[in-house]
């Protein structure tokens, strides 16, 4: 396995896309550190993977929690090869006109602190061991980092900010640490919303979106978390991905090639024509 005995940290790794990334990296031979707010989720990871995973229940917004997962992973596994910032929340497409004015400031802080500051905290905590190992950072973006309509004004703004952060960090940390991003499209996961908008326990409508994916995803289906996870392995690889830094993979089912007609793709009748 190409990631045998490498150590990778994943924030938000106890559920959803993060859990799929953890599963895939472990299958590739990596040791995994997870920073996640759910103690129950951490316990489930320990039960599933035993000594291959080290999980800390904490808050990605706190430097102390980021320092803890980094230091404990280095102590347990010997080094750190890759840090993956993945924890995030969604604003459930709340538009500016529908946003209560009295909640705007708090919602802005919550989304930016989790979706952007959380990534920066991980970067800061992991920097020294990643320089020592000539490792890499990978951040989960979103197609909302490039196109409108993948979230509301706050979520979209955070993901555009992450795109800029990746490019700046790639510049600042070259040639010692590679910094890249994966920008998934819609995923059926347990993605939560902001507490400031009363959405902390809201469930992403994955089944509903999957049922109508053929109408808006050019590839015609909603990819699963497992199907997205391989992109992170690619960016973490020390053999296959040496040239990439500052790169962001639009890994979203083809939103960048959507047509302007009634259907989001042009090949529905291709087989019949052939």
Catalytic annotation, residues = 155
Query: In whole angstroms, what is the distance from residue 136 CA to residue 73 CA?
Result: 16
Distances (CA, A) of 127 to 28, 90, 109, 176, 201: 24, 27, 25, 10, 33
The whole-angstrom separation of Cα 207 and Cα 216 is: 15
Query: Which residue in 152, 95, 86 sits closest to 115, CA to CA?
Result: 86
Residues forming a β-bridge with 32: 8, 53
Largest CA distance in the chain: 60
- For residues 237 and 1, the answer to whether their CB atoms sit within 8 Å is no
270: its two tokens = 């291709």
Residue corresponding to tokens 């259907």: 263
> Cα dihedral angle (26, 127, 137, 53), rounded to 10 degrees?
10
């Amino acid at each position: 396995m190409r990631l045998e005995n490498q150590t990778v940290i994943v924030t938000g790794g106890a559920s959803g896309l993060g859990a799929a990334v953890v599963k895939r990296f472990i299958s590739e031979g990596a040791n995994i550190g997870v920073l996640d707010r759910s103690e129950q989720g951490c316990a489930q990871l320990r039960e599933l993977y035993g000594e291959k995973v080290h999980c800390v229940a904490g808050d990605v917004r706190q430097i102390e929690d980021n320092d803890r997962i980094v230091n404990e992973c280095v102590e347990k596994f010997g080094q750190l090869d890759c840090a993956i910032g993945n924890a995030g929340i969604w604003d459930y497409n709340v538009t500016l006109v529908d946003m209560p004015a009295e909640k705007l400031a708090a919602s802005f802080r919550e989304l930016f602190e989790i979706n952007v500051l959380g990534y920066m905290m991980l970067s800061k905590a992991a920097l020294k061991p990643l320089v020592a190992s000539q490792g890499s950072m990978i951040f989960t973006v979103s197609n909302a980092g490039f196109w409108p309509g993948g979230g509301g004004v706050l979520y979209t703004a955070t993901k555009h900010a992450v795109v800029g952060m990746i490019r700046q960090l790639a510049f600042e940390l070259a040639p010692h640490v590679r910094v890249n991003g994966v920008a998934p499209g819609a995923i059926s996961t347990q993605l939560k919303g902001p507490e400031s908008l009363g959405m902390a326990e809201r469930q992403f409508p994955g089944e509903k979106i999957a049922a109508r994916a053929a109408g808006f995803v050019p590839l015609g289906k909603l990819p699963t978390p497992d199907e997205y996870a391989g992109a992170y392995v690619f960016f973490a690889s020390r053999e296959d991905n040496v040239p990439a830094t500052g790169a962001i993979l639009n890994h979203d089912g083809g939103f960048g090639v959507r047509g302007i007609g009634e259907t989001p793709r042009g090949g529905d009748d291709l087989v019949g024509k052939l």
